[in-house]
Structure 1
Amino acid sequence: MPSKELPHTFKLLTIWLVVMLGVFLAFKAWEREREASRFQLAGQTVVLARAPDGHFHWPGRVNGIAVDFLVDTGASSTALPQALAEQAGLAPLGSVRTQTAGGAVRGFVARADVTLQGGVQAARLPVTVLPDLAAPLLGMDVLGRLHFSQKPGELRIEPQDADSR
């Protein structure tokens, strides 16, 4: 009669796969918790914690598409990667040449509805769209309309309506 028991190697492989799946899921849960703790609402105040990359990130939406804005007080206007602009259905209104840390680049200007967690909105905000931009940048065109202060590792923002109508 043949043995109905699974081979020893198959049992060990199954155990290792279950252990590795558990480790992977635990890491993902930790990662999600860490991401969520970077944004907090303290009453009406938005509190952003400095991310491991050294920057502040503010979750939001561009024309309904979820994005993670990098807060850039050195940028005069909000800038979006071209792939995101295409996904959000932004139409070019005109070409633009802008100076970045990497040098002069060409892009285009478009209008977008920007919504940030915590209630900040900017409808039909003129944005700069750049082909090789790594991440969406939230510039002073929005930030300049808000009251913000910085403590070590923390950016506190008093949301007001940043609507650009």
Structure 2
Amino acid sequence: MNDFPRTLKLLTIWLLLGTLVFLGMQVLLHERQRPRLTIHDGQVTLQRSPDGHFHWPGTVDGREVDFLVDTGATTTALPGALAAQLGLRREATVRSQTAGGTVMAWQGRADVALAGGLRFDGLTVTVIDRMDGPPLLGMDVLRRLRLVQDGATLQASLP
């Protein structure tokens, strides 16, 4: 019976250490997923994220989002769930070519703002109901910017 308190103490210590390691890893993972950008003299510099992509924080109709910069996307695309939360109105039904093939989608309008002060009011966006993942920042926005990529850095500014 004397070993029980000692065993309980060791178990408590190991549980506390395990919890600290777990919390430390959660903070590290959260920090690694945070978009990395700097804004200087009207120029936004994005650092490639650990997932290999460039992410640009912004808003859609005031809702904070983390856009995935997608030069292969013709238009800015939103997941259907986000569009529903925002109450976007369907304006047209369209076919959209995705990496997974052709899907039916719809278009609506939204106010898009990007970190760095860039705004695109009333932007026509494509809504893909079954889309998983973050909204895609497409060429409809990116072509309006001067983009320069140098390795793991993407610089964007107005021309």
TM-score normalised by the chain length of structure 1: 0.85
Moved more, 13-22 or 149-158: 13-22
| Runs (4+) off by over 4 Å | none
Report the counterpart of residue 54 of structure 2 in structure 1: 56
Please give the residue correspondences for 1:42-81 in structure 2 after superposition, counting only pairs within 5 Å.
42-81=40-79
Give the secondary structure class of the aligned counterpart of 1:124. strand
Report the counterpart of residue 25 of structure 1 in structure 2: 23
Structure 1 residues 12-47: Cα deviation after superposition (integer angstroms, max 9, x where no partner) = 232122212211222233233333462222342211
State the distance in 1 between where 2:27 and 2:21 align: 10
Please give the residue correspondences for 1:144-155 in structure 2 after superposition, counting only pairs within 5 Å.
144-155=143-154
Please give the residue correspondences for 1:117-156 in structure 2 after superposition, counting only pairs within 5 Å.
117-134=115-132, 135-156=134-155
State the distance in 1 between where 2:117 and 2:83 align: 22
Find 1:98's aligned residue among 83, 91, 96: 96
Structure 1 residues 57-111: Cα deviation after superposition (integer angstroms, max 9, x where no partner) = 1111111222111111121110011011111221211211122222111011111
Per the TM alignment, residue 138 of structure 1 is displaced from its structure 2 partner at its CA by: 0.4
For the structure 1 residues 64 and 103, does the alpha-carbon distance in structure 2 shift closer, same or farther, using more than 3 Å as the test? same
Count of aligned positions:
158
Q: Percent identity?
A: 51
State the distance in 2 between where 1:144 and 1:104 align: 23
Q: CA RMSD in A?
A: 2.3
Find 2:83's aligned residue among 73, 82, 85: 85
Stretches of structure 1 lacking an aligned partner (at least 5 in a row): 161-165
Stretches of structure 2 lacking an aligned partner (at least 5 in a row): none
